[in-house]
Structure 1
Amino acid sequence: DNPDYYTQKKTLPQLKKDRPWYSDIYSQVLQDVVKRVKVSFDRFLKGDSNGKHTGRPRFKPLSRYRTMTYPQIKQDCLQGNRINLPKLGKIKVILHRQIPEGFKIKTVSITKKSERYYLTLSLEDKTVPNIKPDINPRSITGIDVGLKEFLTTAKGEVVAIPQHYRKAQKRLRVIQKRVSRRQKGGKRRLKAIKQLSRQHKKVADKRKDFHFKTANYLLSKYDVIAHEELNVKGLSRTRLAKSVLDAGWSSFLSILANKAENAGKLVVSVSARNTSQDCSSCGKKVPKKLHVRWHNCPHCGCRMARDLNAAINIKNRAVGHPVLKAQLTSYATAGVAEKPTLYRDSG
């Protein structure tokens, strides 16, 4: 019979007898490993909640297995600056912030990143209601992400692209050469690998910080933010792959959506088809190649930056989004004298 989640869990007691060192690992941590394998294969075969399929799960050697999770934990495990974990005992931790009153610790995960260990606590408070979007549909913008500028809003605001990876590339190249030249298995090679890992983490942390600050800036100004649906996976296979991955669009849009949900605001995605080609003033198609950065419509005389034209088109398309349509209707019935005009923007 093919192994499944339950048969694999049943083999764990015998596994501890055959390999006594497994007894040093907490039983629920081992069970969670089996669960992670099941989730990985389910996403590969059936897809996730959005129907997207991941790649075939691969064997993870010791060097690539970086996270262990306690699916259940005692509520009094955290005392001051120490956490008491089964089989590991009391460990000193640095808390970034105190746990809010009334919240319960559901899971605890320990992750190793660049020779440092990070503790992640999953919290729950059933008395906290779900935040429903309560938005002003007039406070809307569209954003066009790009490689020349990180993003342009429908009002012409521009956020410069920082290019964290490209700025660190020279330093990374030097360390990578150092790794390649040293003997495999040697202490000096291991030291160089750790140095390379720290440098990559520094780049990733800078990018993440930039994404959070940009998301906060947009959400402080607008209630509704529209963006185009991006095929980042496809773009990462083109000659622009390095720049696309350095920008981290997927990560940014995910952060933006999560922050908006927590703030009771709305992020919607619209079709990316011809957002740069269609004129935001008259709607006629004005073909232009990628290197052409200026929109000049021969039909209505509209002239503006290509990215601004795309951002306005994205904003205009968002008005047709079902959630925003409902908000517009409720906004109108609430006694607003003037209906919001969102289909035209002078830029």
Structure 2
Amino acid sequence: MNHVHRSFVAAATAAALVLLGGCGSGGDDATSGGGSASSGTKLAVVATTPEVADFVRTIGGGDVAVTQIIKPNVDPHDYEPTPADIKAIGEAKLVVKNGVGLEEWLDQTIESAGFKGTVVDSSQGVKLREGGHEEEEGHAEEAEAEHAGEEHDPHIWHNPQNAKIMVTNIEKALATADAAHAAAFGKNLTDYAAKLDKLDADNEAAFAKIPADQRKLVTNHDAFGYYVERYKLEFVGSVIPSLDTSAELSAKQLTDLVAKIKATGTKAIFTESSLPPKSAEAIAKQAGVKVVGGEDALYGDSLGAPGTPQGTYLGAEEHNTRVIASGLAG
């Protein structure tokens, strides 16, 4: 995030605080499927992304009131907090984030909200990757790398084994904050971890049916690095040449990507639900390959609409594997 953008966020946050005196609870606006942060005697938790919010709801069950900040199909990389977000954070006991720099806007928002609770970084203990290469485990190295200007891939949830680490971190935080319901949280974690293991095994089985030389992936942006590594796919390239969504292909990069698609025999470009498909469609036309999009668009940064199968982490990941495996099989 550049300095101009940071200044804008700070100014917007300050303005929002002035407005808070005249705001309602903001519960309906800020919540997706979990009640407002201040509802009843339930543990009030704010979760930043759709994936993290789904994890908190799953582990917390009926004992936790979850306010989800980022709605489905909203780009998390460049989010602008609302007055309702700030109010919800100020009233919460826990704020759960994805981490790995995905929520650049969060620290300023927490400070503005006067939040006194615990911030839970669900990525703690995940082995991070940078530029397609695995990085050291843990976050002491991550902090040093961030100071050195390096960037790690924040899309950690696309490996179900990383998701297991994330929900374990979340369960520990919930049990610490609400010891009376720790046993329920622990049981929910055990049940969900088994579902994550099944998802992982099903994904591996789906790609095992596809010859190794056909497992070539081109996506809208570089969101599937952990997935590619886990299931031994070949990442050919992305329409947006970046871990976030702000970059654009130069003319040379576009030409190179088209050439690489042709040279590798890649069969399709997969679009993503939270990004416009036009650039992908133009590149696919030049390369002579199909575009996979519409209802088959991948969930790269987001989940589907609440109440749909893809509105959960498990459903979205099952959808991704079904679409990718089908597209690669041709």
Q: Tell me if TM exceeds 0.5.
A: no
TM-score, with length taken from structure 1 = 0.23
**Looking at CA atoms only, which structure, 1 or 2, has the larger radius of gyration?**
1
TM-score, with length taken from structure 2 = 0.24
